[in-house]
Structure 1
Amino acid sequence: MRFLSSLDRRDRKLLLWCVGGTLALAVLGGFLLPNGNNNENRLPSSYLSGQHGALAAYETLVRSGYPVERWEHPLSELAAVAGPDTVVLFAQPFSREKDDLEAVRHILERGGRVLSTGFWGGYLLPGGASAPPREFNFAACQLEPEGLDPLASSGEVWMIPEATWQVGKPNDRVQYSCAGQPAVVEYNWGNGHVVWWASSTPLENGSLARGHNLDLLLKSLGPRAGKHFYWDESLHGEIRSTWNYAGGPALTVLRLGVLGLALLVLFSFSRRSGPVRDLPSPVRTTPVEFVEALGSLYRNAGAANTAVAVAWERFRREALRLCGMQGERMDAEQLAVVLQRRYPELDETLEADLKSCAEAAGNDALHPREALRLVQLLTAHLEKLRKAARPQAVRPVISGSLRAKAVELISQERAS
């Protein structure tokens, strides 16, 4: 069986060329697109295994029994469930959004613990005083312990500071410094606790095993018992939700491919499937012409009484429905009695008109003019009946005696 036999040879060839071109672009893009998981990427993400990534630190916490998870949703959702058992790690975050600043403040006010690194990590903290360093170091600096808290006794720590801390608040406690500039600072805020690093070097893959950098990380996170740890990934660039993973160059290539495929399909099929000329407008009979045609059918058939019979049956069914007596068999006289008792405001000529219509429905020699008059008469009575039956004009429901009388009349009629 031939592949896609429903297409002709030229269309099949064009489709195969398109599929081949798409596969070639996909393979070429896979080779040429930059690889984010290499040593050139300086983002300390827990997903990256390069020199500056933090996959090793995250895996160490997991294997050490820390209840840790990555957080990739808006921080406001984390702040809503945060408590004294919440510990959040922000490794080189980047955000100046007011909502993120408020979320971090709420986490600390609820008794949470926050470890944040870098200049923007200090900006994210409430009461933060991070600033650019007075001098830039391109080589790792062995930090000098200065504090008296347990964090300052972590041991030999190496770091490449990317920021400094403006000391001046009595609540700020400098635990480590590099060349006289604060590198590790901690302080209390509300019911929570804050630890700030000048950079994320100690937790990166290439530096985690150097000296006692791992001890600094563990002491900065605090005790493990009764805590739940969150490694934030929501503030690393544009990572906000699951759909953001589809962004970047891959999404651009996909959009161009879909657009090109749509154009090819359009040009392939529309060139022969479209109409050669405009279709003529369909002829539509006007409502007046329809009425005239229907009248001519009744006139030619000599069935004027049929129109009266249809109108009479419609009136009888509607009247019984409004009186709540569907299914009852009544003649014109009985129906007129019921209607006049139920709706006294109806015309006094109702009984006579109904009798005339009932008799005309069985008269084959009925003149068309008389049939038209009776149909119009029934229509007028029906309009008055509907108007009288509206909720604001409804009379009390037919009494038991009246219903009994109507049933008696019906029984007598059937007996006769």
Structure 2
Amino acid sequence: MSGNADRRIVLWLLAAVVVVVGLTAFVAPVTHDDDPKPTTYNSGTHGAKGAYLLLGDLGYEVSRSDVAAAAALDEADAPHTTYILAEPRGPSESEQKLQYGAVERFLQRGGRVLATGFRGAYFLPGGRTGAATQFLGELCTTVPEGAGVLAQVGSVSTYDATPWNAPEPAVRVDQRCGSDAVVVHRPYANGGEMVWWSSAEALTNRGIAQDNSLRLLLLSVGPAKGAGARRVIFDEFYHGEQASAVDYLKGLPLRSLAVQVGLVVVLLLFSYSRRSGPIREPLVVPRTSPIEFARNMGALYERAGVTEPATEAARRRLVQFLVSGCGLTQAAATADAHAVATSVGDRFGIDPQPLQKVLERADAARYDKLRPRDALVLVQAVDREIVRLRAALPASANHSFGKLTNQVETT
């Protein structure tokens, strides 16, 4: 197979791959976005993976914690650390005192804690929530309250499911939904501070797309650089998250990728198998061969519409056979068709009519222009008549004629 054919096959296979990829892009099933947990492994609407990556891009030292609060905070550099509890599950009853105490000690040592949601409030000293008075289950646009930095970010969108319900003098309300406190903070000695949001909406992948929500997150975790720079730790222990390789594959169209990889492998195997076999030169008939000459002459006569050379050659071949095979003289073989046929019929005891008809048609073709189809019929009739005459010859005459034919062909 020629190089052009190889290239065509490869191009067709590549075109098939492109078509499959295009169809897959249109018909691939939409990945599910039903995980409500704001974990840093969740890339869906409610996940916090965007916040985790964004803080790292902004210069924060960001990490995940897969241990309980006591283990994560007791040895931490509190004045330079922010601990985020986004919608956590509560610890067991036997662990509550230990874990809540670890958070309080961390705050008193200068640490900062950002907790969200109903159970997040109980990790904070004195924290508790109540029932919402309005906007239950729906997003609300908050109204800033006070002159604190968390109020200066402006209105944000959040859920008012369980507002803060611990009215202590040290706790300052920064944002409200109606009369419900949804963003509060409390400063501690040594630079510590606790921050509570009614929901983690502002740090979700959907929430941080809003400028005010992003500013609220950055001001809640503290600065990224300078003397007061803070390292940010996202809790994953109270989400029950244990990262594995499968977590990083969530959301990928694995089936369509497998199909595409399979097609590429088939293409590579096909290409290798074709090139690894023995390479043979294609059979090319030389232009000097008799077959090439005959084809060219036939094509030339066909284009010109000429039939006389073929019919004349057949007539001369019949005359030559009458002379060399049947024993007629040259003059007798070229005489009137009736006389020639009668002479041959009498000599060999055969019907003279077929030979007479062929001779008459061959003589007429010298002066008439035949159609290619009629010329072919005449040439075939001449050949059949030669075969009939040869069969009527005695065996000795056939042997002599064969020798003569071989000598003529040799010369």
TM-score, normalization: structure 1? Answer: 0.47
RCO higher in structure (CA 8 A, sep ≥6): 2
TM-score, normalization: structure 2? Answer: 0.48
Q: Which has the larger radius of gyration?
A: 2
